[in-house]
Amino acid sequence: LAQIAAARENTRYLPGIKLHEAIRFEDDDAKAFHSAELLVCAIPTQFIRPVLGRLKPHLAPGVPVVSVSKGIEIETLKRPSEVIQELFGERPIAALSGPSIASELARQLPATMVTAAADAGGSGEALARRIQELFTTPYLRVYRNDDLLGVELAGALKNVVAIAAGILDGMRAGNNAKAALLSRGLVEMTRLGVAMGALPETFTGLAGLGDLVTTCVSPEGRNRSFGERIGRGEKPADVLASIPGVVEGMPTCRSVVSLARQMHINMPISEGLHAVLFEGRDVRGQLADLMTRELKSE
Amino acid sequence: LAQIAAARENTRYLPGIKLHEAIRFEDDDAKAFHSAELLVCAIPTQFIRPVLGRLKPHLAPGVPVVSVSKGIEIETLKRPSEVIQELFGERPIAALSGPSIASELARQLPATMVTAAADAGGSGEALARRIQELFTTPYLRVYRNDDLLGVELAGALKNVVAIAAGILDGMRAGNNAKAALLSRGLVEMTRLGVAMGALPETFTGLAGLGDLVTTCVSPEGRNRSFGERIGRGEKPADVLASIPGVVEGMPTCRSVVSLARQMHINMPISEGLHAVLFEGRDVRGQLADLMTRELKSE
């Protein structure tokens, strides 16, 4: 934090980007939260619980929280907004998601996002509008969506498909195969989401399809890059050991497959990826299985 | 044709690919059609009518036709299967579409396609199953779909979005912008399709989303490449004059915008592209307009 404050630059994750002069850096929890009007929670999903547990005493009641994390907590299968609610109690909570690779946003390239608040029909409406107005700039257009569950699920599930997309890249399988993966992947993401109570439109919107496209296409995405090395023949455990931080799609794949099995939902791509990541199965065998299943309707 | 027959290679469009020994090359219309059991119609949309007019006397009644053309006839706004029906009369007709860039198929990279027959609930079912069985190989998986109208419309409309995707590439707008274009583009493709009687699921399936992804991402696509040069600052007319053959998305954009205006359907991306292609408007101005419209729900 001291280094970022001194250089006014995050040299590890956003090299070359000067941070705006209005941004202050604070390592004292109490001071950081003093007079906060809105909290942006950008903690990797599996670390939200411990970090917010520490911060809990410092956040005033009623201060709204907007989550930008994309994942599902492994042990509890909860979404980021649910974990925040549990720790920070009743207050306005929303998610901000969509196709928004950080390096492009930092260079002010044009992008869109989508925000959804809890209690969307009621008190959440005001928070969603406030987030929309706060984050919209001439290069970033923020849409509202009423389906918080769907927005969060879509953001988590797309990381599973992104690992599979990376595997295809590593195998040099081509764009026809990747397009098929995205289409069929979106179908099974939607199937699970709808069974859990989300709206299908959310999955064909910016938080679903939009984010899926960026994540599966951008060279810099962590989940896609992780998959690419597996597609080239490396073992998942070896790849994981060689990179710092979290590959969100990996725990998400485990959660998704448990959910799908519990709920009897057919998710052949997630199952195939699960077999490669956790059951030691070969990637080529899994791809061949997907291509030679019984012929059927779309 | 003589050159291809001699080299057993299409050196212009598929250099380096040996054509299968079972393929025969025939420039005599009557001989070519003698004992034909299935006709694959792979003529660019605007040329289907004159070519089939010439071939008409040689095709036996009842021989089924499968169309792989993606476009809408400019003067009549008809789909390829409708033009085929008009010229060849009552017979089983189907379309075969989806994310299938030829150079990848020729290298036997894994791909999926989708087939839909006219009269899908009735007599078309047998033709769709036959096409599915004929074209499926270990590397190509063919799905059936009941919505011929939707499959053909999606295949035509995606070329309009592909030109816009190329423009973003030419402007170096990034993957967030491209993902947003694909999502919002699919929304307006679906809006027009559904208004014309197609099923929304077709647009989120392989013939819609799937083909849209390949076409907007693959460097070799004609529509995307055409857009890329416009995005770099060239005038549409100059780009057109410098390349051989047809850019299907260009006439399709004109047809789509007439249809949208007639039917009072909001299609901001197609309208924006129309302004650039046919009304001399600047690409940067159009992008800025799209980014600064009134804030709203998805």
Residue A72 has pLDDT above 70, yes or no: yes
- Residue pair B255/B194 in contact (Cβ under 8 Å)? The answer is no
Put simply, the answer to whether A183 touches B201 (Cβ < 8 Å) is no
Distance from CA of B298 to the nearest CA of A (A): 5
Place of tokens 């997630």: A270
CB contact, 8 Å: B143 with chain A?
A: yes
CB contact, 8 Å: A139 with chain B?
A: yes
Q: Which residue of A has its CA nearest to B287?
A: A110
Residues A209 and A215: their CA atoms lie apart, in Å, by: 10
Calculate mean pLDDT across residues B34-54: 94
Of A100, A209, A293, which is closest to B176 when you measure between CB atoms?
A100
Which of A264, A227, A214 lies closest to A70, judged by CA?
A214
Which B residues 234-293 touch A at CB under 8 Å? 287-288, 291-293
Strand order in the sheet with B140-144: B39-41, B65-67, B93-97, B111-117, B140-144
Lookup: tokens for A184: 């069929």
A43-52, pLDDT tens digit by residue? 999 899 999 9
Other beta carbons within 10 Å of A41: 21
Residue-level pLDDT at B139: 92
A248-261, pLDDT tens digit by residue? 899 999 989 999 99
B182-211, pLDDT tens digit by residue? 999 999 999 999 999 999 999 999 999 999
CB contact, 8 Å: A77 with chain B?
A: no
CB contact, 8 Å: A91 with chain B?
A: no
Q: How confident is the model at residue A75 (pLDDT cuts 50, 70, 90)?
A: confident
- Residue pair A147/A198 in contact (Cβ under 8 Å)? The answer is yes
Residues A146 and A227: their CA atoms lie apart, in Å, by: 32
CB contact, 8 Å: A179 with chain B?
A: yes
Put simply, the answer to whether A104 touches B174 (Cβ < 8 Å) is yes
- Cα Rg, chain B, nearest whole Å: 20
Residues of B classed as catalytic = 158
The DSSP result for B135-186, as a single string, is H-BTTEEEEE-S-HHHHHHHHHHHHHHHHHHHHHHHTT--HHHHHHHHHHHH
Residue numbers in B near A100 (CB within 8 A):
176
Residue A292 has pLDDT above 70, yes or no: no
Q: Which residues pair with B212 in a beta bridge?
A: none
Which A residues 209-238 touch B at CB under 8 Å? 209-214, 217-218
Angle made by CA atoms B16, B100, A155, in degrees to the nearest 5: 130
Residue A196 has pLDDT above 80, yes or no: yes
Q: How confident is the model at residue A272 (pLDDT cuts 50, 70, 90)?
A: very high
Structure ipTM: 0.91
Residue A59 has pLDDT above 70, yes or no: yes
Residue-level pLDDT at B220: 85
Q: Judging by beta carbons within 10 Å of its beta carbon (0-12, 13-18, 19+), is residue A262 exposed, middle or buried?
A: exposed
Calculate mean pLDDT across residues A18-29: 94
- B216 φ/ψ angles, rounded to the nearest 5 degrees: -85, -15
Mean pLDDT (chain A) is 93
- Residue pair A94/A148 in contact (Cβ under 8 Å)? The answer is yes
Find which of B183, B295, B296 to mutate to test the A interface (most A CBs within 10 Å of its CB).
B183
Q: Which residue of A has its CA nearest to B182?
A: A210
Residue B74 has pLDDT above 90, yes or no: no
CB contact, 8 Å: A121 with chain B?
A: no
Cβ–Cβ pairs < 8 A, chains A and B? 200
Lookup: tokens for A212: 């899926």
Place of tokens 């033709």: B127
CB contact, 8 Å: A162 with chain B?
A: no
Of A105, A172, A186, which is closest to B176 when you measure between CB atoms?
A105
Residue B246 has pLDDT above 70, yes or no: yes
- Sign of the torsion angle spanned by Cα atoms B24, B30, B35, B36: positive
A161-191, pLDDT tens digit by residue? 999 999 999 999 999 999 999 999 999 999 9
- Residue pair B50/B86 in contact (Cβ under 8 Å)? The answer is no
Residue A120 has pLDDT above 80, yes or no: no
Residue numbers in B near A179 (CB within 8 A):
99, 206, 209-214, 217
pLDDT above 90 covers a percentage of chain B that reads 83
A80-114, pLDDT tens digit by residue? 999 999 999 999 999 999 999 999 999 999 999 99
Place of tokens 């060239």: B234
CB contact, 8 Å: A178 with chain B?
A: yes
Lookup: tokens for B116: 């839909």
Other beta carbons within 10 Å of B43: 18
- B246 φ/ψ angles, rounded to the nearest 5 degrees: -105, 135
Residue B61 has pLDDT above 80, yes or no: yes
